[in-house]
Structure 1
Amino acid sequence: MFSMAFLKRAAIVGLIPSIAVAANISVIERGDFKYPIISLDGEITNADGDKFSVIANRFSNALVEMNSPGGSLLSGIQIGTIIRLRAFQTLVRKGEVCASACAYAWLAGTERYVEGGAKIGFHAAYIVSHGQAKESGSGNALLGSYLSRIALSDAAIVYFTSAAPQEMNWLTTQTAQKLGLNVQDYGAIRRNPAVAPTSEPSYVNPAPVPSPANNSLERASLLFVKRYFSYWSADNQQALEFLDAALDEQVVFYGVKRSKRDILKEKGAIIRRWPARAYIERPDSIRINCDSSKMTCAVGGVMTWEARNEVRNAVASGVSEFTFVFDYSRGAAKIIYEDGKVLERNKL
Structure 2
Amino acid sequence: MRKASIRLKTALLASLTCVTVHAWGMSFERQERCIEGLTPKCQVMILATGQIDKDSPKQFKSFAQTFPRGTWVAVSSPGGNLVGGMQLGLAIRELGFNTTIGNSDYSPPDCLSACAYAFAGGVSRKLTPGSRYGLHQFRGSDQAINAEDTQKISATLAKYLDAMGVDRRLLDYAQMTTSDKVTVLTLAQAQLLKVDTAGQTSYARWKVEVTPDSKLLAINSSLFTVGSQIPITLGILPVPGQNNKVACLIYYKSNDASAFSASNPQHFEIGKEIYPLISAGNWQEKTGGYQATFLIPDNLLIALLQAPDDTVITLSGSFSKPPQSNTTTASTNPLTAYFGVGNLKNSLQALLKR
Give the TM-score normalised by structure 1: 0.52
Partner of 2:82: 73
Cα shift at 1:41: 0.7
Question: Of residues 214, 223, 227 in structure 1, which corresponds to 2:224?
Answer: 227
CA RMSD of aligned residues (A): 4.4
**Alpha-carbon contact 2:80-2:113 (below 8 Å) kept:** yes
Q: Aligned AA for 2:31?
A: I
Rg (Cα) greater in structure:
2
Q: Aligned AA for 2:26?
A: A
**Alpha-carbon contact 1:46-1:72 (below 8 Å) kept:** yes
Partner of 1:24: 27
Q: Aligned AA for 2:201?
A: S
Q: CA–CA distance in 2 between the matches of 1:56 and 1:150?
A: 20
Note the 1:82-101 alignment, pairs <5 A.
82-93=91-102, 95-101=108-114
Cα shift at 1:31: 5.3
Question: Of residues 270, 274, 292 in structure 2, which corresponds to 1:327?
Answer: 292
Q: Aligned AA for 2:291?
A: F
Secondary structure of the residue that 1:36 maps to in structure 2? strand
1:56 paired with 2:60, answer: no
What CA deviation, in whole Å up to 9, does each residue of 1:164-201 have, x standing for no partner? Answer: 434422111342254354355xxxxxxxxxxxx76379
Q: Which runs of 5+ in 1 are unaligned?
A: 1-14, 185-196, 202-215, 232-237, 262-291, 300-322, 342-348
**Alpha-carbon contact 1:325-1:336 (below 8 Å) kept:** no
Compared CA separation, residues 101 and 219, structure 1 to 2 (3 A): farther
Cα shift at 1:46: 0.7
Compared CA separation, residues 295 and 136, structure 1 to 2 (3 A): same
Q: Aligned AA for 2:50?
A: G
What CA deviation, in whole Å up to 9, does each residue of 1:136-174 have, x standing for no partner? Answer: 444323221110001122433433454343442211134
Q: Aligned AA for 1:43?
A: Q
Partner of 2:185: 171
Q: CA–CA distance in 1 between the matches of 2:195 and 2:251?
A: 36
**Alpha-carbon contact 1:126-1:165 (below 8 Å) kept:** yes
Partner of 1:37: 45
Partner of 1:239: 228
Q: Larger % of strand: which?
A: 1
**Alpha-carbon contact 1:24-1:42 (below 8 Å) kept:** yes
Q: CA–CA distance in 2 between the matches of 1:42 and 1:26?
A: 12
**Alpha-carbon contact 1:27-1:37 (below 8 Å) kept:** yes
Q: CA–CA distance in 2 between the matches of 1:67 and 1:337?
A: 36
Cα shift at 1:259: 5.3
Q: CA–CA distance in 2 between the matches of 1:326 and 1:65?
A: 39
Partner of 1:193: none
Cα shift at 1:128: 2.6
Partner of 1:153: 167
What CA deviation, in whole Å up to 9, does each residue of 1:244-276 have, x standing for no partner? Answer: xx999xx854xxx54579xxxxxxxxxxxxxxx
1:117 paired with 2:106, answer: no
Q: CA–CA distance in 2 between the matches of 1:325 and 1:162?
A: 43
Q: Aligned AA for 2:135?
A: F
Q: Aligned AA for 1:78?
A: Q
**Alpha-carbon contact 1:43-1:69 (below 8 Å) kept:** yes
Q: Aligned AA for 1:76?
A: G
**Alpha-carbon contact 2:89-2:117 (below 8 Å) kept:** yes
**Alpha-carbon contact 1:93-1:114 (below 8 Å) kept:** no
Q: Aligned AA for 2:224?
A: R
Secondary structure of the residue that 2:121 maps to in structure 1? coil
**Alpha-carbon contact 1:125-1:143 (below 8 Å) kept:** no
**Which fold has the larger relative contact order, with Cα–Cα distance below 8 Å and residues 6 or more apart in sequence?**
1
Q: CA–CA distance in 1 between the matches of 2:110 and 2:145?
A: 21
Secondary structure of the residue that 2:59 maps to in structure 1? helix
**Alpha-carbon contact 2:34-2:43 (below 8 Å) kept:** no
Secondary structure of the residue that 1:28 maps to in structure 2? strand
Partner of 2:275: none
**Alpha-carbon contact 1:296-1:329 (below 8 Å) kept:** no
Compared CA separation, residues 59 and 339, structure 1 to 2 (3 A): closer
Give the TM-score normalised by structure 2: 0.51
Q: CA–CA distance in 1 between the matches of 2:202 and 2:192?
A: 24
Cα shift at 1:47: 0.6
**Alpha-carbon contact 2:251-2:289 (below 8 Å) kept:** no
**Alpha-carbon contact 2:165-2:194 (below 8 Å) kept:** no
Q: Which runs of 5+ in 2 are unaligned?
A: 1-18, 36-40, 204-214, 233-249, 262-279, 297-314, 329-354
Q: CA–CA distance in 1 between the matches of 2:224 and 2:34?
A: 33
**Alpha-carbon contact 1:324-1:337 (below 8 Å) kept:** no
Q: Aligned AA for 1:150?
A: M
